[in-house]
């Protein structure tokens, strides 16, 4: 396939990750269509984006006029039909394979034949998601890291049938968004999560094995191993439910014991202790 010039980007799902991707797109000058399931959720996402852009204005890294122009580039919708004018659509919905398959199948009937479809999945197979469309060569992975506006990496994932043109176009978009993109092939966990998830799980198991406090474990890994953030702080930031889900997905694919989430954080997830998002995880946070 010949990839189109990317002028308009669609983002499906405007939660924490999707709204961050949409923010990146409008700041980079792309006309951006953001879709949520209700007008209220869409407006909430716009307010969140406007808030973070205002913080940049307050810090002197973004001009007032630049902020206004960026927000003008964002249009909201509840209808997938509005993605018909997009050159690239990035999916950022719930990490559920069935939901993603249904979405991609519907998107194929809406977007132009040359439009690129990307998934932001962190743990599912891009190749399996691509199987939902008859033109699998147009599907790639664009795995951003949370929070998307701040984390510099994006993994550009080539699925089994992804075309070189689609991968190159996604890589170019990643660069324009101000990221440091890397190319990789579709494998469980891609690059970062394949390495990081079992490592973090090892750290969390040490909590009970060494009877060390979360504070001391974080200090050990920052002061002793040079980590920029301790594992307990990191999992609280990512979301304990998100980490458990990613661990379970990798364990299901690889059956490596280190991939399985430690019982302690499974119990925390079941108790609603999800980290920053719930106000309490390994640490307690102000609402």
CA distances to 83, 87, 279 from 171, in Å: 21, 14, 36
Helices (H), the chain: 16-27, 39-58, 64-72, 97-108, 126-130, 164-176, 192-209, 214-219, 231-238, 240-254, 263-270
Count of Cβ atoms closer than 10 Å to residue 214 Cβ: 18
Helix (H, G, I), strand (E, B) or coil at 189: coil
Q: Which residue in this structure is represented by tokens 């009877």? A: 211
Sheet of 180-185, strand order: 74-77, 31-35, 8-12, 88-91, 116-119, 139-144, 153-158, 180-185
**What is the C-alpha separation between 195 and 182, in angstroms, rounded?**
15
**What is the C-alpha separation between 160 and 167, in angstroms, rounded?**
12
Structure tokens given for 192:
């970062």
- Give catalytic residue positions: 122, 143, 155, 193
Length of the chain counted residue by residue: 287
Q: Which helix (H) or strand (E) holds 34?
A: strand 31-35
Backbone angles phi, psi at 46, to 5 degrees: -60, -40
């Amino acid at each position: 396939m010949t990839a189109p010039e990317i002028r308009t980007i669609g983002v499906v799902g405007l939660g924490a990750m999707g709204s961050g991707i949409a923010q990146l797109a409008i700041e980079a000058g792309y006309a951006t269509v953001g879709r949520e399931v209700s007008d209220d959720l869409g407006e909430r996402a716009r307010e969140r984006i406007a808030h973070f852009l205002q913080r940049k204005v307050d810090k002197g890294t973004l001009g007032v006029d630049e902020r206004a122009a960026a927000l003008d580039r964002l249009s909201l919708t509840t209808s997938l039909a509005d993605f018909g004018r997009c050159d690239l659509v990035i999916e950022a919905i719930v990490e559920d394979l069935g939901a993603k398959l249904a979405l991609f199948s519907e998107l194929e009937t809406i977007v132009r034949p040359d439009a690129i479809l990307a998934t932001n999945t962190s743990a599912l197979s891009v190749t399996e998601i691509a199987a939902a469309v008859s033109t699998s060569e147009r599907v790639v992975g664009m795995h951003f890291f949370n929070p998307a506006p701040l984390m510099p990496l994006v993994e550009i994932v080539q699925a089994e049938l992804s075309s070189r043109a689609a991968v190159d176009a996604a890589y170019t978009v990643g660069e324009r968004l101000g990221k440091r993109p890397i190319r990789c092939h579709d494998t469980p966990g891609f690059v970062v999560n394949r390495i990081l998830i079992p490592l973090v799980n090892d750290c969390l198991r040490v909590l009970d094995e060494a009877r060390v406090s979360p504070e001391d474990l974080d200090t050990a890994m920052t002061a002793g191993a040079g980590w920029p953030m301790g594992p307990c702080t990191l999992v609280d930031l990512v979301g304990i439910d998100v980490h458990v889900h990613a661990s379970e997905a990798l364990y299901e694919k690889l059956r490596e014991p280190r991939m399985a989430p430690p019982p302690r954080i499974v119990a925390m997830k079941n108790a609603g202790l999800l980290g920053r998002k719930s106000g309490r995880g390994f640490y307690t946070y102000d609402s």
